[in-house]
């Protein structure tokens, strides 16, 4: 069986994509960018003392689960969320909900999902997807980052739901139990922009623009600290966090600019349009940074770690200016 | 990023596409399909090279009798002892003991079966090294190789 009126749309990011899918399925149209924005998905964090696969943790987005939580809260929408101890129970519950015609969001690990391209299967435990049907032993899945519907065996899906390690999903499933109130988006939009500004300008050394500056300082010392080879691996990890699957380009800067553009139209505030343009330019510079970083880890002489550090601090300066403007604007919007 | 500049460098995504956000001629944002971007492919390749390197070292240690073949399968699955312990439902120290060849050789068939299932291999495979690492690396060509 398969839920009939569920339309699969490919998204740039798994969590905003899955959330948008569930909201659209509930009967109200909201774009992925709008969901990402209202979920205040944009962020930056550099946490040198937490290691992911042995490398410092870098993130260009807020913590997993926060987009779904914020969007549903801001839209006054009731949700059902559950984690499980028992794998069989988790799969039985899923089947039951599908029988009732409910599309169910799941947190999974990409490592165990066979339809993900082999080279992208790392232990990343916060991949979101929506299950929309079952055919024999196979589940029919709307994976936000896949172009079309995909299929996955019950055994593999169960493994993916019960992956271990950092951010272990523990079978987490979620779905909407009421229709989201999207009639009046002004307030949620302004509140979410304010929250993103607050996070990006937070007086915490590892968060937001200050996190970028901290990263710039670390990067300049990587080559002497780790040696050429390992420093290269660190840079590669950074590039992957910024550009590999699910950011929409430039570490979510482009998708957030798309949100600001939509917000400008919705709120009829032309300054937001200008700020969207500014963020696009900042995003282009992040893309350029990724390109230079690739040259650097391949050992091309024209780009040094010091140059990269300068690029990152200049990004921090630009983003600081950008978010201060944005913050001032939201104050005027009341 | 302009829509016409959205890169189409296939590699890590194999034959799949993902979407980027880009601006069209009127400056409006739209979703644009991409088959990949070379910096991402290169970074992904480096991540796998590192795994390959680790695996090479572990393979040598297994061959010289310093580690059990479990260490090889663990490394190939990008795991360390704490993560494997968590998957196997065992204490870390027990998994660390199983990495020693003498201890591993004495493991019961039930425990071996559990490890084998986790790594998706047969028990007969688990107790020896495979000829080939079968990593997904280099399944797509490195453009530098052709230069």
Matching residue, tokens 């047969």: B122
**Average confidence (pLDDT) over B76-103:** 96
Asked if A279 and A131 sit in the same domain, the reply is no
Asked if A322 and A206 sit in the same domain, the reply is yes
Q: Is pLDDT at A154 greater than 50 in this prediction?
A: yes
Higher pLDDT: B146 or A272? It is A272
Distance CA B47, CA B78 (A): 11
Residue A204 lies in a domain: yes
Distance CA A242, CA A163 (A): 24
Q: Is pLDDT at A11 greater than 90 in this prediction?
A: yes
Q: A105-131: per-residue pLDDT in tens?
A: 999 999 999 999 998 999 999 999 999
A240 touches chain B (CB under 8 A): yes
Q: Is pLDDT at A334 greater than 80 in this prediction?
A: no
Nearest C-alpha of chain B: how many angstroms from A309? Answer: 18
**Average confidence (pLDDT) over B106-113:** 96
Distance CA A331, CA B90 (A): 54
Asked if A287 and A229 sit in the same domain, the reply is yes
Q: What is the 3-state secondary structure (H, E, C) of A126-191?
A: CEEEEEEEEECCEEEEECCCCCCCEEEEHHHHHHHHCCCCCCCCCCCEEEECCCCCCCCCHHHHHH
Torsion angle, alpha carbons of B85, A173, A152, A27, to 10: -160
Q: What are phi and psi of B66, to 5 degrees?
A: -85, -30
Q: Is pLDDT at B101 greater than 70 in this prediction?
A: yes
Q: Is pLDDT at A67 greater than 60 in this prediction?
A: yes
Instruction: Supply the mean pLDDT for chain A.
Output: 93
Partner residue opposite A294 with nearest CB, options B20, B21, B39: B39
Is B1 within 8 Å of A284 when comparing Cβ atoms? yes
Contact in structure between A163 and A109 (CB atoms under 8 Å): yes
pLDDT reported for residue A302: 76
Residue A282 lies in a domain: yes
**Where does residue B65 fall: left (phi above 0), alpha (psi -120 to 50 degrees), or beta otherwise?**
left
Torsion angle, alpha carbons of A40, A41, A42, A43, to 10: 100
Instruction: Supply the mean pLDDT for chain B.
Output: 91
Query: How many CB pairs lie under 8 A apart between chains A and B?
Result: 123
Is A298 within 8 Å of B42 when comparing Cβ atoms? yes
Choosing among B39, B95, B142, which should be mutated to test the A contact, i.e. which has the most A CBs within 10 A? Answer: B39
A10 contact partners, CB below 8 Å, separation of at least 6: A17, A144, A145, A146, A147, B17, B18, B19, B31
Task: Enumerate domains of chain B plus CATH numbers.
Answer: 3-36 (no CATH), 40-126 (1.10.260)
**So what's the ipTM on this one?**
0.91
Residue A209 lies in a domain: yes
Sign of the CA dihedral running A82, A86, A89, A94: positive
CA angle B43, B54, B129 (to 5 degrees): 125
The DSSP letter of residue A7 is P
pLDDT reported for residue B144: 57
3-state helix, strand, coil in chain A (%, to 5): 55, 15, 30
DSSP string of A281-317? HHHHHHHHHHHHHHHHHTT-TT--HHHHHHHHHHHHH
Report how far apart, in Å, the C-alpha atoms of A333 and of each of A43, A75, A103, A201, A279 are: 22, 19, 37, 19, 20
Identify which of A146, A118, A133 has the alpha carbon closest to the alpha carbon of residue A18: A146
Q: A210-236: per-residue pLDDT in tens?
A: 999 999 999 999 999 998 888 999 999
Contacts of A239 in chain B (CB under 8 A): 39-40, 42-43
Residue A172 lies in a domain: yes
Identify which of B4, B31, B28 has the alpha carbon closest to the alpha carbon of residue B17: B31
- Provide the domain limits for residue A114: 14-30+79-176
Residue A61 lies in a domain: no
Q: Is pLDDT at B88 greater than 90 in this prediction?
A: yes
| Secondary structure of residue A46 in the 3-state scheme | strand
Asked if A120 and A258 sit in the same domain, the reply is no
Contacts of A257 in chain B (CB under 8 A): 21, 29
Residue A260 lies in a domain: yes
Chain B positions touching chain A (beta carbons under 8 Å): 1, 12-14, 16-23, 27-29, 31, 33, 37-40, 42-44, 46-48, 50, 78-79, 83, 86-87, 136-137, 139-140, 144
Asked if A166 and A227 sit in the same domain, the reply is no
Contacts of B33 in chain A (CB under 8 A): 147
Residue A297 pLDDT level (bands cut at 50, 70, 90): confident
| CATH (domain of A108) | 3.90.70.10
pLDDT reported for residue B135: 84
**Average confidence (pLDDT) over A92-100:** 96
Given A176, A195, A212, which residue is the final one in a domain?
A176
pLDDT reported for residue A181: 77
Residue A282 pLDDT level (bands cut at 50, 70, 90): very high
Give the chain B residue whose CA is nearest to the CA of A277. B27
Contacts of B23 in chain A (CB under 8 A): 280
Given A176, A204, A219, which residue is the final one in a domain?
A176
pLDDT reported for residue B143: 58
Asked if A20 and A165 sit in the same domain, the reply is yes
Choosing among B33, B43, B86, B92, which should be mutated to test the A contact, i.e. which has the most A CBs within 10 A? Answer: B43
Which tokens hold the place of A100?
A: 């009732």
pLDDT reported for residue B55: 94
**Average confidence (pLDDT) over A289-310:** 89
**Average confidence (pLDDT) over B47-53:** 90
Partner residue opposite A119 with nearest CB, options B79, B83, B139: B139
Which tokens hold the place of A160?
A: 């993916």
Nearest C-alpha of chain B: how many angstroms from A295? Answer: 9
Give the chain B residue whose CA is nearest to the CA of A242. B40
**Lowest-confidence segment of A92-96, A189-193, B45-49 by average pLDDT:** B45-49
- Number of domains composing chain A: 2
Buried b (16+ CB within 10 A) or exposed e, B28-49: ebebbebbbbbbbbbbbbbbbb
Contact in structure between B95 and B88 (CB atoms under 8 Å): yes
pLDDT reported for residue B147: 41
Asked if A194 and A98 sit in the same domain, the reply is no
Nearest C-alpha of chain B: how many angstroms from A237? Answer: 7
A91 contact partners, CB below 8 Å, separation of at least 6: A154, A157, A158
Residue A220 lies in a domain: yes
Matching residue, tokens 């704490």: B82
Asked if A208 and A168 sit in the same domain, the reply is no
Asked if A209 and A139 sit in the same domain, the reply is no
A280 touches chain B (CB under 8 A): yes
Asked if A20 and A155 sit in the same domain, the reply is yes
Higher pLDDT: B75 or B140? It is B75
Given A152, A176, A200, which residue is the final one in a domain?
A176
Q: Is pLDDT at A276 greater than 90 in this prediction?
A: yes
Asked if A277 and A222 sit in the same domain, the reply is yes
Residues 13-72 of A with CB under 8 A from B: 33, 53
Residue A45 lies in a domain: no
Contact in structure between B12 and B28 (CB atoms under 8 Å): no
Q: What are phi and psi of B8, to 5 degrees?
A: -130, 60
Asked if A206 and A172 sit in the same domain, the reply is no
Contacts of A165 in chain B (CB under 8 A): 83, 86
Is B39 within 8 Å of A243 when comparing Cβ atoms? yes
**Average confidence (pLDDT) over A1-22:** 93
Q: Is pLDDT at B125 greater than 90 in this prediction?
A: yes
Is A287 within 8 Å of B1 when comparing Cβ atoms? yes
Choosing among B46, B84, B142, which should be mutated to test the A contact, i.e. which has the most A CBs within 10 A? Answer: B46
pLDDT reported for residue B142: 59
H/E segment holding residue A322: helix A305-332
């Amino acid at each position: 069986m398969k839920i009939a009126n569920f339309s699969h749309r490919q998204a740039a990011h798994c969590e905003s994509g899955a959330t948008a899918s569930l909201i659209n399925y509930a009967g109200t149209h909201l774009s992925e960018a709008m969901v990402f924005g209202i979920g205040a998905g944009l962020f930056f964090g550099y946490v040198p003392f937490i290691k992911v696969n042995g490398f410092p943790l870098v993130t260009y987005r807020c913590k997993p689960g926060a987009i779904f939580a914020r969007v549903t809260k801001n839209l006054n929408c009731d949700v059902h969320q559950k984690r499980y101890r028992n794998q069989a129970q988790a799969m039985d519950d899923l089947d039951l909900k599908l029988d009732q015609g409910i599309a169910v969001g799941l947190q999974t690990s990409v490592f165990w999902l066979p339809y993900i391209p082999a080279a992208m299967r790392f232990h990343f435990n916060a991949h979101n997807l929506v299950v929309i049907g079952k055919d024999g032993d196979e589940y029919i899945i709307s994976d936000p980052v896949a172009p079309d519907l995909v299929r996955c065996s019950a055994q593999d899906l169960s493994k993916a739901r019960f992956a271990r390690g950092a951010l272990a999903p523990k079978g987490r499933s979620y779905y909407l139990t009421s229709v989201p109130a999207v009639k009046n988006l002004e307030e949620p939009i302004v509140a979410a922009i304010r929250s993103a500004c607050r996070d990006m300008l937070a007086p915490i050394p590892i968060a937001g623009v200050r996190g970028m500056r901290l990263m710039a300082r670390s990067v300049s010392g990587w080559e002497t600290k780790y040696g050429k080879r390992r420093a290269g691996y660190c840079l590669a990890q950074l590039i992957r966090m910024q550009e590999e699957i699910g950011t929409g380009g430039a570490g979510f800067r482009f998708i957030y600019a798309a949100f600001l553009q939509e917000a400008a139209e919705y709120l009829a505030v032309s300054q937001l349009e200008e700020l969207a343009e500014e963020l696009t330019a900042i995003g282009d510079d992040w893309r350029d940074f990724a390109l230079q970083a690739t040259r650097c880890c391949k050992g091309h002489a024209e780009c040094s770690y010091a140059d990269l550090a300068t690029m990152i601090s200049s990004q921090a300066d630009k983003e600081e200016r950008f978010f201060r403007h944005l913050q001032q604007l939201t104050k005027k919007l009341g | 990023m302009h829509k016409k500049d959205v890169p189409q460098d296939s590699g890590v995504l194999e034959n799949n596409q993902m979407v980027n956000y880009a601006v069209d001629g009127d400056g409006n944002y739209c979703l644009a399909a991409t088959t990949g971007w070379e910096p991402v492919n290169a970074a992904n390749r480096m991540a796998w090279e590192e795994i390959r390197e680790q695996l090479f070292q572990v393979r040598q240690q297994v061959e010289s009798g310093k580690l059990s073949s479990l260490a090889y399968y663990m490394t190939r699955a990008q795991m360390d002892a704490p993560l494997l312990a968590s998957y196997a439902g065992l204490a870390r120290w027990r998994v660390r003991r199983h990495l020693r060849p003498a201890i591993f050789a004495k493991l019961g068939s039930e425990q071996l079966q559990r490890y084998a299932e986790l790594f998706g291999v047969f028990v007969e495979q688990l107790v020896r090294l495979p000829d080939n690492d079968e990593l997904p690396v280099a399944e797509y060509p490195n453009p530098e190789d052709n230069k």
